[in-house]
Amino acid sequence: MIKHLKRSDIDTTRWNDSIKKSINGSIYAMSWYLDHSCASWEAIVMENYEAVLPLPIFMKFGIPMIITPLTVQQLDIYSSTQLSEAQSLEMINAIPKRLKRIHIASQNQIFSALPFGDKPKNRKQKINLILPLNKNYEVLKSAYSNSHLKGIKRAQKENFVLQYSTKARECVDFFKSNVGASISLPNSYFVQTEKIINAALKHKSGQILQVVSPTHGIMAMSFVGSYKNRIYDLLSSSSPLGKKKRAMFFLIDQIIQEYSNRDMILDFEGSSIAGIANFYKGFGATEVPYYIFDRWRGDLLARFTRMLYQIKQ
């Protein structure tokens, strides 16, 4: 049996237990993460939470839509067993018709079969960057680029200290002041991110790291999420002086040292900005594609809403 549930009808304990047991469980799908990523969310649930599909809801022109939040890289159908194609299709076919658009980022190709109007000619591919840490540190370090090795050597001369913090607001403000001007993000992103960091700290699913100079103070900060066997680099930034002194090289290298020789994956979340992507690749990260599936229903209201949306863009 497959059901559609509003947030108020979702059993949070059973939901989170389902994500934890799933073979593809992700920090993005935990109830507390979703609660702070969007105004509301709903779900498609199979049987006794044996498989679940989160549906983040946003309102555009008074019309509800499914849109992957800015704070979420990917979503999926989560299950403890490999679902058949028919089962997966049954779940996405259960998405309520009142939701006129679905915009979802996922590795799961099943979303190509979304029953929303005409199939798009092209699907947008994006790249995630990950680094398996199941080797000893020296082996992992041997995959660093020469420029990264030089950057780390330079950072080590600064007598940097890696510290832990519990100040979510400080982490977000540091990012906002050092990166915010160069990228276009709404204020709601920073509000949501601060809430996510506080929730992650509360659930012991993340930590704030900062690189501190004895003479110049905080040079770089990073909020690192952790869930199952994956570490997520969710929010990282350096001050102008921190960039010059290679503080972020030092921070990432320290993470790799700490988690090396474990069955863990460092998830850099990728980037469409070439310079940032190359920075992650310099640590030996490999590319993993995922896709943006963006579909509208074919009814009159959906078509009218889509026209308004395109005009406003």
> Given a cut of 80, is residue 140 above it in pLDDT?
yes
Q: Are residues 231 and 154 in the same domain?
A: yes
Average pLDDT over residues 96-118: 84
CA distances from 53 to 26, 123, 268 (A): 12, 21, 24
- Residue 246 backbone zone (phi > 0: left; psi -120 to 50: alpha; other: beta): left
Element spanning 189, H or E: helix 187-202
Q: What is the CATH number of the domain that holds 232?
A: 3.40.630.30
* Structural domain includes residue 122: no
* Structural domain includes residue 101: yes
Burial 175-185 (b: 16+ CB within 10 A, else e): bbebebeeeee
β-pairing, 124-132 with 2-5?
Answer: unpaired
> Using an 8 Å Cβ cutoff, are 29 and 38 in contact?
no
Q: What is the CATH number of the domain that holds 95?
A: 3.40.630
What residues have CB less than 8 Å from 192, skipping those under 6 apart? 36, 37, 69, 70, 71
> Given a cut of 90, is residue 21 above it in pLDDT?
yes
Q: Are residues 81 and 173 in the same domain?
A: no
- What is the domain range of residue 219? 127-289
> Given a cut of 70, is residue 120 above it in pLDDT?
no
Q: Are residues 72 and 138 in the same domain?
A: no
What percent of the chain shows pLDDT beyond 70? 96
pTM > 0.85: yes or no: yes
Higher pLDDT, 287 or 299: 287
Confidence at residue 35, expressed as pLDDT on a 0 to 100 scale: 97
* Mean pLDDT, the chain, whole residue set: 92
> Using an 8 Å Cβ cutoff, are 78 and 18 in contact?
yes
DSSP label of 7: G
Confidence at residue 299, expressed as pLDDT on a 0 to 100 scale: 74
